[in-house]
Structures are given as C-alpha cells and as structure tokens.
Structure 1
C-alpha cells in the first residue's frame, strides 16, 4: 500500500478530506474483509491510549473497534490513568506481550515508553504508533499521525494574518514542561513558524527570542505553561499567564480541551474579547466552539483514519502483507489536516465550521 497523501505543505479541502477518509475506510474493508472471509490467521491487537476521557482518544478507540470488526481482529483496549502516565502504558505493553498479542497500537505518552516498545518488537510483536510519533521514529514499526508541525503552522499563519498587523502578546499553552513528545514540540514550533517568528532549534521549545518581529509586526511571548492537554490544565495555565501579563491578545493551545479551559479563564477575567484563542484537534465540540467564537481557528485532524489504518496494517502484516509507504517527505504516514475557521484569511486555505461539522469526530 502506498501513501495517497501529498507532501507536507499540502492542506485539504472538505471534498478531498471526505474522499480520503472514505477511501481509507473502503481500503480497510477490501483488504481486511477478504482476509477475514478467507479464514486466514486470527489477529490479536492491543490498543493503548493515553487516557479514556479525551474525545480524541475515544474517537480513535471507536474507529479501531469498527475497523477490527471489518478485519476480523480481536481488539483489547488499555490506557494510562491520565495523559502522561508512562508507567501505565509500560504496564499495558508488557501485558500485551505476555498475552501473546500479534500487534500493539500505541499513542506514546513520553520517551520512557520506548524501552518497552523495543522489547515488544524484539518479542515479535508489530508495534505501530498512532497520533504521537515516537522519538526516534524508528522506535516503532510504523506511525500514522497528523503532520503536527503543519497543523501548528496553519493556525500560526492564520493568526498572523488575522491580527492585522497588531503587536501581539502571546500565551503559549503547551502539553508538558517536564518531557518532550513530538506532538507537543511540533505543534508549538509549527505555530511559531507560521507566525513568522524565527525559531532557535526546532527540536526544542522555548529557545526562541522572547520578543521580536513576526510577519505582521512585533511580538512578545508572555508565558509558556503546561496544560497536560486537559481543560482544567488549560484554565490554570491561562490564569498563570494572565498574572504574568494581562495584555495577552493571542493564545496558542496544544488542543481543544486546553483551549476551552483557557477561554473560561479569559471569560472569568472579563478578557474574552481581548484575546484570540487558536488550537488543534477538530472535534465536534471544538468545531462548535469555532462557530460560537470561543476558538477562533483550529487545525482539524482525523483520529478515526489513524485507527483504521493502524488496525488494517497490523492485520495485513500478520497475514503476510507489508507495511505501507510513508508519506512523501516525511518519516511517517500523514493522515491529513485542515484549518477550520469562520474568518477566512487570504493565502491560508481553510474550511468553515459548517463544513468541518460534516467530518468532525
């Protein structure tokens, strides 16, 4: 199977995204359905999420369950106690190996999980990362994920244009401050590059100049706070940022739950009309928040496609097939992204909240 996605710089309109999602689903039906109908080898897979609460992870789980039915795969679902629970994921990986699972689909919560993944592969288990590329990428057999740098770059480019040449005071609400995971790093760095802010080392957060010029004027980074990707974490982080600098007028958030929390903090401070919030996810709740003006723009990603491709691939490999090709110019399979906003900006391709509602999760 080869990638049907274009290069890193491409974005997708509504029609293209819908077509790709449908094609991915039908591809799974064709290959997995034939294997199951033919009575080929039984396949046992464990899906290891970061937690069982975030809508992104629950959508991914549902997509995996549906594809498992199509491909005749026995699917077990496990998760950490919360996002960032590396020990919980390590235990789930070890349990999967002890059970004799053929494959593991994992959203790694951090680099501490790498050793357990490597041990599983040494035991003959096919391990595929979903959503969160491991570092190094070769830790797993394959990764299906959003191009998170591109997703960040989209909201950054949009925000730079939407600010209309104003000076911006930016709050950066990341996922973690005590570890590096690729989704967190790449979304942050992509956003800053999209804003036209010079990056220091793209493999690090926080080493860019605290103030300087962006593509539309001058910027100041007021704060950089962790949220753990949760609503309560987003609210606390935003409160901390407002204490440091009440002039914040642009808020980058790692995901939509943290964006919702940040907005509540702004609202409580009477500053919801002063600061614009941008994010990444594209859930149905997040898209609704775009239509209501809570989130100004979000990059929509497609967890169901990640799950479908992951289950389909492990089933194919166990039954004698091969891993698919990675996307052109990348070291993983890009499952696509689209900018969602009701305030379109020249030169930044986007879809409306109404259009995104048709393909949200």
Structure 2
C-alpha cells in the first residue's frame, strides 16, 4: 500500500470532510445503543430502491456500486434502477411506483427534474422515506432530506479559479448546461455559481441564461465578458461535443468553457481540438477519469464530489429510520446535508482553495 503524505492544507480539509461525515454516521449509529446496529439481532431485511438518472455515467455507476456494498452492511434488500438516459422522467416515475407497489421502506433517488416531484410526494404519502442524492429537488421539502454536494459552491470555486486564470483578459464564455427544457437544481446551481465565481451578476438565481450577455466581470483582476451561448449537452460526451460545435459556430473566439460535468468537458475539448482552438475548461464531478483529464490538461479545474458518501449516508439513514431510529438533520444554514467538495487543479491560484490532481486521484471514484 502506498503511504500518503499530506502536504496541502486544502487536501487535508477535503480528507477531513470525508472523515467527519463518516464519524457523524458512526456516532449516529452508536446513539441507538450497542445492540441496535442495522441488521443485528436477527432483524428482517428492509426493502430500499436506489433510482439514479442513468446507469452509464461514472458518477451514478459509482453510486450504485457503493449502495450495493452498503446494502449488505445494513441488511437491506436493494433494488437498483434508473432512467434510460438523462432526461427520462418517466423512467424514474415508473421506478418510484414500482417501489411503492413492492412495499419498500424507502427510496434513494437522484431526481431527474421537477417532473418527478409528484411521484416522490406520492411515495412519501404511501409511507416511504424518500432521500434525494446529489440533486436537491425544488422545493427541498419534496423529499425527507437530501445528501448532496453544495453545487452552488462547486460552481463558484471553478468560476473564481477561472477568473484568476484570465488575468484580466476579456472572457468569451460558453456555458454547457445539462438541459434547456427542464429545471434541475444541479443545473442552475452549478451554472449560476460559476458566473458568481467569475464575478458576473446573475438575474434569477434559479434560471440559466437570463443574465446580461456582456459587461464586466469582477473576479480575479476583473475585465470584460461576453457570454456566447447556453447550450444543453445532456451531461454526456457526445452532447458536449455537439453543444461546443454550436457555440463555436456563434463565436470562434471562445476562451472559457464551463461544463455541467466531466463527460461534457471531454466532448467540448474534442470540438475545440477539431476546430484548432484552445480554451480554459472548468467542470464538476471529480471522478478518477475527470481527475486524469485535469492531469493531462484537458480540464483546467474540476470540483470533486463524493457520490459513495452520498450513497452510504442515504442507505444508513433509511435503514436506521425503518428500524425506529431518528431522522437525519440538514447541515447548518442549508436545506440539505452537505457531503463536501474540493477543487482539483494543477494550476493553483491565490485565494482559491484547491488540491492537485495527484491528491484528487487518491480520493476519486470510478475508473
């Protein structure tokens, strides 16, 4: 086993976040008494459904893998399902209805959009405990609790870093979002957080694309900006490639690209490369592949999330509640439980906490 030496204060903080969350879960379990551990004492297994947005994105693959492992630990009979692809509301609705019909005790779900709100409400009315992972619904109280990254902060970290990298030069920006026909909190929080980090005024904080298309940014040394496009890449590499092509057709001088996730970023980079262009690319996810893209220079910086921790917290919470334990609480000042975030980059800038790609690789997820 490789010995890890901690030399970066922000890296230590990232590790501390994960350790603190793990401690909180352990303490919560201990508060139930020594003989009340989930699955102990001959307790019957409980039914839980994990419903992700799809089963191909490395983020959701990692979450499913973690949930399966935690199901065994918590004596849970787990059913895993997902939409066919990003945007498949009906696929998630069907999975929710199936969970109700099976008599499951709870649902862990990464909500596709507000289109599944009614189905989640129906599940709660049927007596299921519903926990959102990664994507807080709007409104937040549609579910019992959410375990997620602070996506606004994730976007903001990338924006602050990007503004410093521009060093006062004009910013010609492409925003590659998730959808253009659905409202998803992850989508607008990351996009709007990025703009806030760059120092661009947003209009409606829950709406993408309504900010002024040109003006001055105040992040870093400050300068002028032009927003060329808000294009939907559907969170996929091919979608990112097509979205970037559409943006370059509008303005070939784009020098800063925000992407909703790392597959989108890889697709965007492919389009830039094919056009003989380069740009600063920032993203969110922090999977091992994405961290590798940072190390290779494809992505300048990415905000790392912790999907395995989300799955662990959600699974333990449902198992505990189903067996008479207390419900979890949200993080102070937030309407969800914050599972932590760390910016991964090999181009550190003053005033923005970050960890290197080598450090990020030690705590990443996926292949």
What is the CA distance between 1:308 and its match in structure 2? Answer: 0.3
Q: Deviations over 1:180-234 (max 9, x none)?
A: 1000010000000000001111121111100000022000001110000000000
| Structure 1: stretches of 5+ with no match in the other structure | 1-11
* 1:14 match: 11
What does 1:235-314 align with in structure 2 at a 5 Å threshold? 235-272=241-278, 275-314=279-318
What is the CA distance between 1:18 and its match in structure 2? Answer: 2.4
Q: Is 1:321–2:318 an aligned residue pair? A: no
Which fold has the larger relative contact order, with Cα–Cα distance below 8 Å and residues 6 or more apart in sequence? 1
* 2:33 match: none
Quote the RMSD (CA, aligned, Å). Answer: 1.4
* 1:217 match: 223
Residues 104 and 125, structure 1, Cα contact 8 Å, conserved in 2: yes
* 1:331 match: 335
Residues 21 and 339, structure 2, Cα contact 8 Å, conserved in 1: no
Q: Distance in 2 between matches of 1:28 and 1:323?
A: 12
Residues 44 and 75, structure 2, Cα contact 8 Å, conserved in 1: no
| 3-state DSSP of counterpart to 1:261 | helix
Q: Distance in 1 between matches of 2:362 and 2:19?
A: 13
Residues 18 and 340, structure 2, Cα contact 8 Å, conserved in 1: no
Q: Deviations over 1:267-290 (max 9, x none)?
A: 111113xx1110000000000000
Q: Distance in 1 between matches of 2:338 and 2:20?
A: 14
Q: Distance in 2 between matches of 1:26 and 1:150?
A: 23
Q: Distance in 2 between matches of 1:67 and 1:25?
A: 13
Which of 143, 146, 170 is the aligned partner of 2:146? 143
What is the CA distance between 1:26 and its match in structure 2? Answer: 6.0
Q: Deviations over 1:110-168 (max 9, x none)?
A: 11111111111111011100001111111101100100000000000000011100001
* 2:177 match: 174
Q: Deviations over 1:22-67 (max 9, x none)?
A: 4544665673982212223421100001000000000111111111
What is the CA distance between 1:20 and its match in structure 2? Answer: 3.6
* 1:226 match: 232
Q: Distance in 2 between matches of 1:106 and 1:266?
A: 35
Q: Distance in 2 between matches of 1:35 and 1:84?
A: 35
Q: Distance in 1 between matches of 2:87 and 2:261?
A: 15
Residues 105 and 310, structure 1, Cα contact 8 Å, conserved in 2: yes
What does 1:78-157 align with in structure 2 at a 5 Å threshold? 78-157=81-160
Q: TM-score normalised to the size of structure 2?
A: 0.92
* 2:351 match: 347
Q: Deviations over 1:235-269 (max 9, x none)?
A: 00000000000010000000000000000000111
Which of 53, 57, 71 is the aligned partner of 1:54? 57
Q: Distance in 1 between matches of 2:115 and 2:340?
A: 28
Give structure 1 regions of 4+ aligned residues with deviation exceeding 3 angstroms. 22-30
Q: Distance in 2 between matches of 1:335 and 1:283?
A: 15
Q: Distance in 1 between matches of 2:223 and 2:327?
A: 46
